[in-house]
Chain A
Amino acid sequence: MGRFIVRRLLHAVATLFMITIVTFGVAKATPGGPFGFDDPAVQAHLPIEQRQRYIEMYGLDKPIPVQYWNWLSSALQGDLGYSYSFKNETINHIIARTFPVTAKLGVIASAIGLTLGTLIGVTAALKRGSLFDAAATAWTVVFHTMPVFVLAVFLVIIFVVELRWFPITGWGTWKHAVLPVVTLLLGPLSSTIRFARAKVLDVLGSDYIRTAKAKGLPRTLITRRHVLKNTLIPIVTLAGPTIAGMLTGSIFVETMFNVPGMSKSFVGAAGSRDYPLIMASTVIYGSLIILMNLLVDVTYGLLDPRIRYD
């Protein structure tokens, strides 16, 4: 296991390195540039010295490989540089300011979505054909297919405008967090219900369950020992990218509910050619995906003794 984790971590470093090269290359290859310098009107407004100062300050006058190397060496020392849009704020500070907010919402939404989704999915499968099963299936169809922007608007109309249970402006109390969390979790909740239900039905039809039943094992024991454990594998697979996605937030949810989170600050980075911010957001998201995938792989082995890491 130890060797496996070390090997995977080395792979992760290589993957992350490739991600940064590709992102940097694509960002630089995209037409246009920062500060509107491609706009003749802007060019005309700034004296050449000022324009040059901007360019030098951000190292944009250097060849692209040198720019990349400068970025990489700073990043390895934990300095992600300055954003072009938030001029006097380091990206490290932007992340420190916004990531905890996004991550907290993500953790709550993932925890509730995955746990509740598993419980509902398993129960629906065990009570196949019941009213509960039908309701769970209907729920997944509705909320899996409903785009988050439609869902968020519905929630605002019902719970903010009509019922007036929750505020929509400001941030800082639990009441502000309820609707963003609910909006975030409904998608993963529906996916988890679907996965869990399908897997339980699959497991229930397998030979070893039939054998266990034939041996006369109690139903609860079969469910707990055999059904649940085997169901967890696809759920864990699903959980990796879900949690990574949740931790980096949803731009729509953050904009709709005015959450001071990371997505809101990072969106538009590509449009405004804010290279340092583009790199930072890609590295954060890439790292989280890699980390979650590693955790998923480690968890497989703990859930299923047949899985070996050598």
Chain B
Amino acid sequence: MVQKLDRREFLQAASAAAAVYALAACKPQTVEVEKEVTRVVEKVVEATPVPTSPEPITANINMALNRGDIGDAGEPGCSGAVNSYYMNYMMFAALVRLTDKLEIEPDLADTWSVSDDGTVYTFKLKPDLKWSDGSPLTAHDFEWSIKRNLDPKMWCGGQFWQLVDIKGSRAYYTGENTDPDSVAVKAIDDLTLQVETETPAGYFIQVCTLPAFMAVPKASVDKALEINQEGRPQDWWKPPLGIYSGPFMPVEWITDLRVYFEANPYYAHGKPLIDKLNIHMIQNTATVMAAYEVGELDMVDLPETEYLRVIGDEELLADMVTSKELGVQHLVWDMGVPATEDPRVRQAFACAIDKDTLMNDVLPGVGSPAYQFLAPGLIGYNPEIGQELRYDPDKARKLLSDGGFPNPADFPEMLINYGAGSTLYQTMFEAIQAMVQDALKIKVTLVPGDQTSLGVKLADMRYKQPLVWRQFWGADYPDPHNFMVVLYTCPPPQAAVWETPERVLCNPKFDELVWQAAAETDNTKRAELYRLCEQQLVVENPFVIPLYYPTRHRLIKPYLKNVVIIPQSFVMIRETTTIEK
């Protein structure tokens, strides 16, 4: 027989249950996610030749991953954005790497040579290379990894452009040729790797620094495939599956929260001086600053909203490290619009933007005004290019008039898309809107919005109204080829298919010059060719309007020594980085 509770008894019982649950919930938060963490270092620590100090040297840094990076952050073959590059560089080593002066230095390769015709690269690896578990790392690992990255069956696609120069890569990637041996990457023996390019490519050694050229551990990938679900391998790069060739190896990986690393005792450049590297993935800028100020983080990117506060605070200012980034913020014209067909109209728009005022007064600390597409420091950068399109409202009005609009009122409403969610861009583009309206007396409308929805949102307006897009290009490798070819040739070489030639210049003269420069190995000649490319791209038939070269500010605790700042948005914690308190 079921005994009935009266209301009072029910309430007493319910209160007691709630109290017990609340107390239980108040226990220290040993989070479930911790359970997925598996320490893989025990075996490694036993085999470590270097004795560990009693107090491990630990660095804490922050890195906010973009949503798009979350899934593939550790997979070098899928890595295409700055933060996932960073994760790759911590875990894996490539054949060569960049110094803070953007020079090439050996990474896992000891030496390399190029054939006389400039197409065959032979890399000699350092002897006795090892993965983080002590197993040998050979040229065969490189061959397997590069071909794997080109395999059309690989789960993620889209980074083909990193490997596009290799002979046979396109046919294999697009499935025209299914034989992996058709890709001209070959391990001659355990220490020798030969890579052949389709044509001579003066920039190819720089390309070899990219993640798609890293050796990844076949053993880990195979293990991950064994436990795959519905054809999706597990994340082989995470512990406990992963073994590593870079300076650090992850021992704890909690998606979108933190990745904790320990030094790889078998790293080719020697075991890093830092024992533990904790990468936190904090998005909120107030949290980032608080964590830095109380010493929980040793290095952070300075949020743009905090710049003015930091330069007014002596203590924080002393920690601020400023570097130029190898990139350019610019506007791209939507081509094919009748109103902007005449190059003079596009030139008028460029002349209407006062970049000096914009960067010095409206947005101090953000960057320096740009009149060229190539960033300073690159071959072919020429400060004289584009000077004729400096801010000059009278000239702007004349160009607009000569371009077919003597009466500015006849010019259709101009649209600028700048991407949503950033107060920096909002401020910047409100200023640009005011400048252009003031100089040209035309109507300018700002269209915020991400590209996911933008294509549809603007579908009705495009090709009828003049439109420019904001675009940022940061160097993947420090060569003008990376700036010119990937974005604006028609079609770009990495395009596996070519259906909708939008947002590319499609100027045969420009394309010809770019490819001529790519095949040239003499840097003086290349510089001259890129100057001509730039003249086409920015001045004569302007397709882009350079806005500024960004400046990156970071806060780095003074006790964190020997960090390597690479002007590609990276601050590398390398083998020589240490903490001296």
Contact = CB atoms under 8 A, between A and B. Distances in A.
A310 interface: no
Interface stretch (A44-52, A127-135, A200-208): A44-52
B36 A44 contact: no
A50 B157 contact: yes
A85 B22 contact: no
Given A39-B455, A161-B290, A46 B158 contact: yes
Interface in A159-198: 160-161, 164, 167-174, 176-177
Interface string B270-303: 0000000000111110110011011011000000
B304 interface: no
Contacts of B173: 47
B232 interface: yes
Contact of A153 (B286, B291, B453, B500): B286
B286 A156 contact: yes
Interface string A81-117: 0100111111000001110110010011001100000
Contact of A31 (B174, B281, B456, B503): B456
A255 interface: yes
Q: Is the interface of B mostly helix, strand, loop or mixed?
A: loop
Interface in A241-276: 255-258, 260, 264-265, 268, 271-273
A88 B227 CA distance: 12
Interface residues of A, number: 66
Nearest to B421: A271
B286 A256 contact: yes
Given A161-B294, A168-B296, A44 B452 contact: no
A153 B291 CA distance: 12
A32 B455 contact: yes
B33 A39 contact: no
A111 B25 contact: yes
Interface in B496-546: 496-503
Given A48-B497, A173-B28, A82 B452 contact: no
Contacts of A38: 451-452, 455-456
Contacts of A108: 22, 25-26
Contacts of A177: 29
Interface in B229-284: 229, 231-235, 254-258, 280-284
A70 interface: no
Given A156-B290, A302-B7, A112 B296 contact: no
- Output the residue of B234, B455, B501, B502 with the most chain A CB within 10 A: B455
Given A38-B456, A41-B503, A168 B160 contact: no
A168 B284 CA distance: 11
A87 B496 CA distance: 23
Nearest to B502: A40
A303 interface: yes
A169 B496 contact: no
Contacts of B43: none
Contacts of B233: 88
A212 interface: no
11 contacts: A36-B452, A38-B455, A48-B496, A50-B152, A108-B26, A156-B287, A171-B257, A173-B29, A174-B26, A256-B287, A258-B281
Interface of B: 7, 10-11, 18-19, 21-22, 25-34, 36, 60, 67-68, 70-72, 152, 155-158, 160-161, 173-175, 229, 231-235, 254-258, 280-284, 286-287, 290-291, 293-294, 296-297, 450-453, 455-457, 491-492, 494-503
Interface of A: 30-33, 36, 38-50, 57, 82, 85-90, 96-98, 100-101, 104, 107-108, 111-112, 153, 156-157, 160-161, 164, 167-174, 176-177, 255-258, 260, 264-265, 268, 271-273, 302-303, 305
